Amino acid sequence: MDRLDYAFVIFFITLGPIKCLAPFLHTTANFDAPTKRMLAFRGTIIATIVGLFIVYIGNSMREKWGVGRPDLLVTFGILLLLSALEMLRSAQHPEPAEAPPESPKGLALSPIAFPIIITPYGIVALLVFAAVAENQVAFLEGVFGLFIGIMILNFFAMIFAKQILGFIRPQVLQAIGWVLSVLQASLAVTALMSGLRLGLFAAPVGY
C-alpha cells in the first residue's frame, strides 16, 4: 500500500477522469461552452480543496477517533467492491437518465464536485494513503502530487468531454468501464484482505 504506483491506480479508478466524462456532459447539456468551462473549473477547485482537507485534517481526526489502518482498509474495500458491483449492474441494466438541469446555479458543488469528481470511495482512498504515509513525508508529498495531477486530468477531461466521447465509440468506453470495474473489484478484495490481515495478525498498537 505504500507505493505511489499503487496509489496512482487507486486514484485513477476512484477519482479519475473516465468516470467524469458522461455525467459531466449530461449535467451541462443545456449550457454553452463558457458556462461548461466555468462549472468544470469551479467544480475542480472545490473538489481539490476538499481533497486536501481530507488528507491533512481528516487524517488528524481519524487518529483522534482511534480509527486504524486496518479499519480504513476494510471500509475502503467494502465501498470499492459495492461500487464495482453497482457499475457492472448498471452496465447490464442502465437506468433512464434524468433531464439535465436548466440552471447552472449550485452545480459546481453538486453534482460536479460531489459525486462526479469526488466519490465516497475516493474519500476513503485519500484517508487510506494519508494513514499509510504516517511520518513518511516523501510518500505523503507524492500522494498529494498524484491527487493534484488527477484533479488536473479531471478538469481537462470535462472541458473536452464532448470531443472525447465523439472520438471514442460508446461500445469502447463501455468495455473500458467493464475492465475498470473488474480491476476495481480485485483491488477491493486486496484492500479487504490487507485490512483483515493487519487487524487480525498485527500487534494491537502501532497501526
Beta strand segments in the chain, E: none
Does residue 141 fall inside a structural domain? Answer: yes
Does residue 205 fall inside a structural domain? Answer: no
CA neighbours within 13 Å on the CB side: how many for 118? 23
Does residue 174 fall inside a structural domain? Answer: yes
Does residue 90 fall inside a structural domain? Answer: yes
Cβ atoms of residues 50 and 122 within 8 Å: no
For the chain, how many structural domains are there in total?
A: 1
Does residue 206 fall inside a structural domain? Answer: no
Which of the residue ranges 38-47, 64-73, 165-174 has the most confident prediction, judged by mean pLDDT?
A: 38-47
Q: Where are the alpha helices (DSSP H) in 54-136?
A: 59-64, 69-92, 120-133
Does residue 161 fall inside a structural domain? Answer: yes
Range of the domain at 105: 4-199
Does residue 130 fall inside a structural domain? Answer: yes
Does residue 204 fall inside a structural domain? Answer: no
Mean pLDDT to the nearest integer, 49-71: 84
The CA-atom distances, in angstroms, between 27 and each of 37, 105, 152 are 13, 12, 20
Indicate whether 168 pLDDT > 90: no
Dist CA 15 CA 113 (whole Å):
11
Q: What is the pLDDT of residues 76-95, one digit of tens each?
A: 889 888 888 887 777 665 56
Q: What is the pLDDT of residues 44-54, one digit of tens each?
A: 999 999 988 88
